[in-house]
Amino acid sequence: MKIRYFAWLRERTGTSEETIELPETVKTAGELISWLAARDEGYAFAFEQPETIRIAVNQEHVEEDHVLSGTEEVAFFPPMTGG
Amino acid sequence: MSNSTTTEFTVRVQAEDFDVLAETEILTKGRKDVGAIVTFTGLCRDEGGTLEALELEHYPGMAEAQISKFAQQAVERWPLTGLTIIHRFGKIPPGDNIVLVIATSSHRRAAFEASDFLMDFLKTQAPFWKKEHLKETSEGTWVEAKAVDDADAARWRNSRH
């Protein structure tokens, strides 16, 4: 599964994109956030306020209870500030 | 709700600047049914002289897809004759263009409302993030999303227009 990070999530994780093998225990986007946050200090900092993080799966906005199939592109980013 | 004669629209996400007049002419050239043109141009302001530049990061692919989704909603909701949306990314200095919405219609109301609707959704739902680079500090700061922008976007869910 490809994971992409934008804006301060990219900076805090030190990663713009990576490919991971989805662990058996991780079923939803919210569980993926918890799993990533437990990786190291940078990831913990990036996801310290999970309620503020926006999630996209295959480039569509989803909520944290979205069930992952393991093949998608998942992206995490802060609230958007376009326009 | 969509019908087969829905107006086509143009969406571009680009680093380059855009030419408002040239983009407007594309929507009006050779037609006599256009009675109203509304253009909205968003510029980078200097924040009282403190801003060096804005840096716009975006999610390639999703940015185009999200803007197109709202453009599609706009042409289904209002009787537009044309619609162009351009959003820039990269480093943009004060005074330069950031975003352009042009809506054309037979009558003004549709063009005004569609432009307003699109800007509200571009602010809150299109995957772009602004980072401010100030003259005084070397480290940039991410612009925080504003609750008022969410409230503006929510208006369109409540009204039947």
Q: Looking at the domain assignment, is residue B14 inside a domain?
A: yes
Q: Do B144 and A83 touch (CB under 8 A)?
A: no
DSSP A52: G
CA angle B121, B126, B132 (to 5 degrees): 105
- The domain containing residue B35 runs over which residues? 10-158
Q: How many domains does chain A have?
A: 1
Per-residue model confidence as pLDDT tens digits over B40-96? 999 999 999 999 999 999 999 999 999 999 999 999 999 999 999 999 999 999 999
Q: How many domains does chain B have?
A: 1
How many Å apart are CA B61 and CA B66, to the nearest integer?
9
Q: Which of A59, A60, A81 sits opposite B145 (nearest CB)?
A: A81
pTM: 0.93
CA angle B47, B142, A49 (to 5 degrees): 140
- The domain containing residue A64 runs over which residues? 2-77
CB crowding A7-30: b at 16 or more within 10 Å, else e: bbbbbbbeeeeeeeebeeebebbb
Q: Do B128 and A83 touch (CB under 8 A)?
A: yes
Q: Looking at the domain assignment, is residue B5 inside a domain?
A: no
User: In which band, very low, low, confident or very high, does the pLDDT at B106 lie, cut at 50, 70 and 90?
Assistant: very high
Residue B2: is its pLDDT beyond 50?
Answer: no
Per-residue model confidence as pLDDT tens digits over A31-73? 999 999 999 999 999 999 999 999 999 999 999 999 998 778 9
ipTM: 0.94
Q: Do A82 and B58 touch (CB under 8 A)?
A: yes
| Rounded average pLDDT over B134-144 | 90
pLDDT for the residue numbered B137: 85
Chain A residue with minimum CA distance to B146: A81
